[in-house]
Every structure is written in C-alpha cells, then in structure tokens.
Amino acid sequence: MSQLGDMNTPIQKFLEKYPDYILTRSLDELRLTEYNRLDSQGLVYVDYTGGGLYADSQIRDHMDMLRNGVFGNPHSANPSSEATTRLVESAHAYVLKYFKASPDEYVAIFTSNATGALKLVGEAYPFQPDGRYLLTFDNHNSVNGIREYARTKGAEVTYLPVVPPDLRVDEDRLDEALAVTASGPKLFAYPAQSNFSGVKHPLDWIKKAHDKGWDVMVDCAAYVPTNRLDLSEVKPDFVPLSFYKMFGYPTGVGCLIARKDALKRLTRPWFAGGTITIASVQADSHFLAEGVEAFEDGTVNYLSLPAIEIGLRHLEDVGIGAISDRVTSLTGWLLDQLLELRHSNGASLVQVFGPTTTYMRGATITANFYDSDEILINHSRIEELASDARICLRSGCFCNPGAGEVAHGLTKEEMEEGFKNRDRMTFEQFQTILERIGGKSAGAVRISLGLASNFDDVYRVVEFARGLLDRQASQV
C-alpha cells in the first residue's frame, strides 16, 4: 500500500487529508534500515503504549561497548569500577540534558521501571492527617496504589472523575479540588497522557497546582515516547517514566526525575546498600546519603544504563517532532476509518473510548467492537483474531481501572458488587461478575502507534476490522 502513483490509492487519499505526513518520510527509510524485522516477519506492531521497539543500531552500539570494555561494580575505586562510574554518571547527566532539566534544579534517579519510581515517591512522601492526595480517574494503577500509603498515614484521598465521551477532566472541578485548604502536605498526581484514552492533560496544571500549594507528580510514561517534555518550561516535582516505552531497549530500567527541593521533603522508610554513608549494627543507626544516592537502592543496573544514553541519542537523531507529527497523522486517519465502519444495517462496528479527533490526544486508541445487533465482541477474541492476522495489539484493562470504569459505564454500585466476595479473583472472573449483574465489560482493545509506525500498519488494522463486518459475536 506504500505506492504513491495512483491518486485514488488509499495512501493518496490519506495524504490529501494529512499532508504533513509526507514531511516525515525519513522515518520510512528508518523503518527499512533499523526496524526491517517488522516487514521481514510480516508483523504489524501497534502496542507502543505497552512497549517501544528498539533500533538495530541501539543493540549494536551497546554490544560494541560491552565487548570493548571491562566494567565492574561501581561501588569501588579500581579501574573497572571507575569506568562503570563514568558511564553511570554520563547516563544521569544525559537524561537531564534530554529533558532540558537543569542539574541545579533536578536529579535523575534510576529505578527498575516507572512503577519503581512511583513507589519511591509514595513510600517517602510526608502524608499525614489533614494532608491530601488528589489524583485523576485515569491514572495508572501504580499511581492509584500510592493511595494506600496516603491512607495509612491519615491523609485524605480524592479522585477527579473523567467525563465521557472524551474522558477529559472538568477543569472547574479541578479548580475546586485544588482550592481545598489543608494544613498537611498535598500531592496532586495525573498522567500527561492517558494510557487508556490517549487524552493529553494540560501541562499548565502544574503551575496552577503549585500556586495553590500542591506538590505535583506527572506520570509521563505514555507521553514521552512521542512528545517533547521540556523541564525548562514546565516544573513538575516528580516525573516517573520507563525507557523501554520510549525506545524499546533496555527493559528493566526506569527513572524518577525529581526537583531537588521536593526530594528533600521525602523521608525514606528504610535504607539499603548504596543509600547510606554509614550504618551500624551495634549502634543501631545509620546516615543516609544525599540526593540521588539516597534513592538508588543497592547496585544500579550498571551494564544497562549506557544503553539509556544510546537510546536517547537515537530519539534525538530521529527527532521527537517528526515522530509526533507522524503518529498524529496516522492516528487521525485510523480514527476516521474505524468510525466509518458500519454493518449492513447501519450499526457501528467500533466504539472509541476517548477523543475521536487528534486535538489534545496521543496515538493511543482504545475501543470495543460490536456486531450488527450491537452485541459486544469479546476483546480477548479480537486480540486472538488480530494475532492470527500478524497484528500485535493489546486487550484488557491496561492497568487503568478508573478510565475503564467510566468508559464502560460501570457504576460505583456495580463495582462494589464485584468486590463483595473478598476472595482474590482473576480479571476473567471479575469480568464474568460484571456480565452477570449488568451485561457490561471491563476490558477493551487498545491500538497504539509509535516511532516505527507507517501507513501500511494502520491500513492493515483497518482491513482487519473491516473483516469483522456483518459477523455475529457468537460466530466470531
């Protein structure tokens, strides 16, 4: 489908509506040279919100570094350790450079993933009675989980709902929530981009919250793979992220970018190797290190950290602006096409949860599929059929229960009914309960685009969806 000659081809019609796409043709060359394994295997990869893809050159550069160096544990002063320390320090510095964060104002703390970064904040934040934890409905579960720390310490937890159909926050309600006074510390958490709906929440909320005395944590895990985060312009206190979502490799390394002033307000509930200057068994005491060292538990993943700098340099060479322009065009066309698909009786095949235009939204589309009688086609079955077609998408709840509950019209009473049985249950068992009490779903299908996406990918997704027309849910 990549031919450009016939003006009536799908790609030419696409270019007529999204002409900026042509300015990103350099990414087509990149696809051929750095990501050609996709085409050689006939795969359509549309799960970038779940994990990014690495370029061939990233692996070569990292392996060359490992083959040509001798790197020991950095907690020493011998030549191999000093070589490692230089690479670790370089990685710290390059993360700040990439996000334009002044080293006088910010530090980069390496963790196992974005969840590890969030846990650092949650366990150490000075929640107390008459303190507050405010968060939007569409936060990832790793942000939701911080409420347990807040409640244990007596702080009040408040959720801001997202409003259908676009699943955005009512800013009047946000203003009301931020205006609430409290004598204790206040933490406001929200995603820069929802990993469920693709909604981009305004970054100017950061200053608005600061002006009301709140600390602000912005989950950027789903945002930074296709958008520029400039920390010289916006000043969140805490920014958790995972590098594999940005450029695929390595996994197992995340980061907490934190303002130094905010970091000083955190009190760690324990200490570990690498986080202290000295500890004693007999004196039963310890002294924590300062800054980054106080928060990087144990030995960092020092052989993987150099790959972070390699990945960030790769994104800089590609250009985050080009990535953003490309996925915006592809997302717009994909939304257009999916929403136009109708069964012979006029019933819609696809219901999109979230914005149906590209205004203030990212390249994540979450939807469900219905037959001509408006009966839901099970999301897991859609994933199975897509897999048969060599399309890598995702189904489930995406660790974002709040957005999903609103999108699926699940009420508080229905959710409480599902939790009446206190025995641990699986997601599938919970889904069965919801179907019994309300005929509703807790899951959906997610299609997400990224650096290596092209028109052929989204065209094949649309053709796959078209193949579901006029098929009954019971027969799919």
Catalytic center residues: 399
**What is the pLDDT at residue 422?**
66
pLDDT in tens, 74-124: 989 999 999 999 999 999 999 999 999 999 999 999 999 999 999 999 999
In angstroms, the CA 443 to CA 451 distance is 26
Q: Which of 11, 109, 85 is nearest to 457 (CA)?
A: 11
CB within 8 A of 386, min separation 6: which ones? 392, 393, 464
Given a contact cutoff of 8 angstroms between Cβ atoms, the answer to whether 449 and 460 are in contact is: no
Which amino acid is located at 277 in the chain? T
C-alpha separations of 62 from 37, 87, 302 in Å: 19, 12, 12
In angstroms, the CA 176 to CA 168 distance is 16
pTM beyond 0.85: the answer is: yes
Residue whose entry in the numeric block shows the structure tokens 């006939």: 42
In angstroms, the CA 242 to CA 99 distance is 14
pLDDT tens track of the chain, all 476 residues?
A: 444 445 568 999 999 999 999 999 999 999 999 999 999 999 999 999 999 999 999 999 999 999 999 999 998 999 999 999 999 999 999 999 999 999 999 999 999 999 999 999 999 999 999 999 999 999 999 999 999 999 999 999 999 999 999 999 999 999 999 999 899 999 999 999 999 999 999 999 999 999 999 999 999 999 999 999 999 999 999 999 999 999 999 999 999 999 999 999 999 999 998 898 999 999 999 998 888 999 999 999 999 999 999 999 999 999 999 999 999 999 999 999 999 999 999 999 999 999 999 999 999 999 999 999 999 999 999 999 999 999 999 999 899 999 999 998 988 888 887 777 767 777 777 777 777 766 677 799 999 999 999 999 999 999 999 999 999 998 89
Q: Which of 317, 292, 248, 255 is nearest to 62 (CA)?
A: 248
Q: How far is CA 281 from the centre of its chain?
A: 41
Q: Which of 222, 253, 241 is nearest to 110 (CA)?
A: 253
Tokens of 402: 């709040």
With H, G, I as helix, E, B as strand and everything else as coil, classify residue 63: helix
Q: Which residues, in sequence order, are bridge partners of residue 111?
A: 254
**10-52+319-475 falls under which CATH superfamily?**
Aspartate Aminotransferase, domain 1 (3.90.1150.10)
**What is the pLDDT at residue 3?**
45
CB within 8 A of 238, min separation 6: which ones? 117, 121, 215, 216, 217, 218, 256, 257, 258, 259, 262
Q: Is the dihedral of CA 189, 195, 199, 204 positive or negative?
A: positive
Q: Is the dihedral of CA 309, 311, 312, 313 positive or negative?
A: positive
Tokens of 22: 């042509």
Radius of gyration of the chain (CA): 24
In angstroms, the CA 371 to CA 375 distance is 5
Q: Where are the domains of the chain?
A: 10-52+319-475, 60-316
pLDDT in tens, 402-422: 999 999 898 888 888 777 776
Full 3-state SS string of 330-360: HHHHHHHHHHHCECCCCCECEEEECCCCCCC
Which amino acid is located at 199 in the chain? V
With b for 16 or more beta-carbon neighbours within 10 A and e for fewer, the 125-155 pattern comes to bebeeebbbbbbbbbbebbbebbebbeebeb
- Looking at 2.60.120.680, 2.60.120.380, 3.40.640.10, 1.10.3080.10, the CATH number of the domain 60-316 comes to 3.40.640.10
**What is the pLDDT at residue 359?**
97
Q: What percent of the chain has pLDDT over 70?
A: 97
Q: Which residues, in sequence order, are bridge partners of residue 240?
A: 256
In angstroms, the CA 272 to CA 289 distance is 11
In angstroms, the CA 98 to CA 231 distance is 9
